[in-house]
Amino acid sequence: MRVTGETYTAARAALLASPPPERARHEQQRIVARWFDDGGRLRAIPARRKVRVAVLLEILRRFTPGEVLTEAEIGVRLREVHPDVAFLRRELVGCGYLSRSGGTYRVSTEAPARTATERRELPVWERVWLPEFLAGWASR
């Protein structure tokens, strides 16, 4: 604050807007530990959007970017996580992690564009982890 001349409120807001990756990783691990059992099954679907998206990011690890799957194949993978396959599938599509076309689903190869409001409502882990996940796929 001495260097930039920012007020405490402005400096705090800037720090919260772009937290270090380690803090985002810690928050994601905390959420995963709370919502998933030791077998990798989801205990319940979170009601809060930010937590639900953090859970969806963990589920997304079970897929490969660019992969094309039928609804049945998506169902098999999601059923390993939670019995409400349709809800999870809709949420993955709604978040832009999957796209649907002609009865098949494609795992995104690009991070979805987010509005400022969405960026505030979604976990920071998405901005940290998702580009790395997609870049790892692209470099293969």
Q: Are residues 101 and 108 in contact, defined by beta-carbon separation less than 8 angstroms? A: no
Among 3-7, 75-79, 84-88, 119-123, the range scoring the smallest mean pLDDT is 3-7
Q: What is the pLDDT of residues 20-44, one digit of tens each?
A: 688 888 899 999 999 999 999 999 9
Q: What is the pLDDT of residues 90-140, one digit of tens each?
A: 999 999 999 999 989 999 999 999 998 898 889 989 999 999 898 876 554
Taking the complete model, does pTM exceed 0.75, yes or no?
Answer: yes
Name the token pair of 15: 């720090």
Which residues pair with residue 101 across a beta bridge? 104
Q: Are residues 128 and 119 in contact, defined by beta-carbon separation less than 8 angstroms? A: no
d(CA 129, CA 140): 17
